[in-house]
Structures are given as C-alpha cells and as structure tokens.
Amino acid sequence: MTLLHALLLGIIEGVTEFLPVSSTGHMILADTLLTIPKTDFLTSFEIMIQLGAIAAVALLYARTLLSKRFLLKPLLWAFLPTITVGFIFYKIVKQYLLGNALIVVYSLAIGGVLFLILEWLLQKRKTKSIALEELTPKHAVFIGLGQTLSLIPGVSRSAASIFSGLIAGLSRDAAVEFSFLLAIPTMVAATGYDLIKTPIHLTPTTITLLGVGLITSFLTAICAIQLFLQFVKKHSFLPFAIYRIIIAGVFYFFILK
C-alpha cells in the first residue's frame, strides 16, 4: 500500500460511510481497481480509518448527544444486537466476506432493488411518523437487528439502519440522525475488537499510512454528512438505489467478468 492508496481509501471512507451505498463495499471495489494486495494490514486499515469518520459525526453531534440524553437508552438497545451478532460471526466475516468483490457487487445490486421497493412502500404509508423522543426499546432493537445485515460487505451500515428506522416508523430526518448516532458505538466497538484480534505491527510506514487515512476520512466525512443531511430534507433515497444498481452492473460486466 502506498500513500496515494491511503489517501484515496480515506476519501472513499469519508464520503461513503454515512451514505446508503456501503463504504466497505466501495473500498473493496477500490482495492480491486487499484490492485492493492490483500493483507491483514489492509483489512485492519480499512476498519481503523472508520474512526476518522466517527470522529466527524461525534464532533458534529456532540451538542445533540448532550441535549438529547434520552437517546442513550435507545442507542444501547440498538447497539446490543449488532455487537452480539458481530462477535459471533467475526471470523467468518473477516476470513470469507471482507475483500470479496463479487459479494459486494451482489449486495449493492440486491440492496438497490430493495431500496426501490421500500421507497415505493414508504411513499404509500399513511401512518404518522414517530419522533426520536417516541423511540421504544422494541423500535431500537429492530433497528439494531437491521443494522447487523451490514456485516455483509456491500449492504451498507447506514442504509440498513436508516431503512430499519423508516420501517419502524421514524421520519426520514429522525432515521438518518439515529443512524449517525448509532454509528459511534458500533464502529468504535468494531475497530477496537479488530485491534484486539488482529494487532497491527506499527512501523513509521504503517503509522503514516494510518494517519493519512484517518485525517482524510475525518475531513471528507464532515463535508459528506452535512451535504447528506441537506439532501435528505428535500429528496428521497431513490438516487442512491439507482446508483447502487448501476455501479454494481458496471463493475460486474467491465471489471469482474
């Protein structure tokens, strides 16, 4: 891995982490396009630079967390299914799923189709949306269970949690906000557990690569989060669904086939 690789992967992570398009999936596709050798360091690097994106959302939502402490309990309930399922399937995910470009392509395509169906169903829903203040443990656990699907590369953590929130009855703004906040404990736990299971041998080179990836993902995530929030207020998720299907098709027919 070179500094340019670290820079590009950091940008991809920051831009895509909170969009419903799968940051992990995009980094795996980028690895294939850039012909970056698959190593334990690469896998851990792509997990660790998520902390840059998390730092961005923690910074932007620090005031929200302080002013809406009632969200701490729902966040805990939503976090429990993810940490439980992630712990059980950690080895399978890391050994067989991460780095598999074909799984990413299928996940992006299938997810895009499901997004189209969900958007159509949600537009027909006539029940009143619930606010964050009305979240119950049942709602939170449902969102957490939905988020566990993101263990499959290409599914997208944000997409899984946002659409689970929408199905649970949250408004678009509320579902996106809860998804952003849920990312903090989820990704911190994922990174911490990966470091315990696969310690990185730190050298001046690996430290530099990690630093570039973390800083880049942090800066780009700040911009991406703010732009995404503005987009959600006026538009549906249909463009992301179409994008997922197109990128999956292009990558499959022109790169993998």
Distance CA 187, CA 185 (A): 6
Contacts 24+ apart (CB under 8 A), 161-165: 161/78, 162/20, 162/237, 163/20, 163/115, 163/118, 163/237
pLDDT digits (tens, 9 = 90+) for 101-159: 888 888 899 989 998 998 888 877 777 778 888 889 999 999 999 999 888 888 888 88
Domain that holds residue 177: 3-256
pLDDT digits (tens, 9 = 90+) for 5-42: 999 999 999 999 888 888 878 888 888 888 888 887 88
Q: How many domains does the chain have?
A: 1
pLDDT digits (tens, 9 = 90+) for 133-147: 888 999 999 999 999
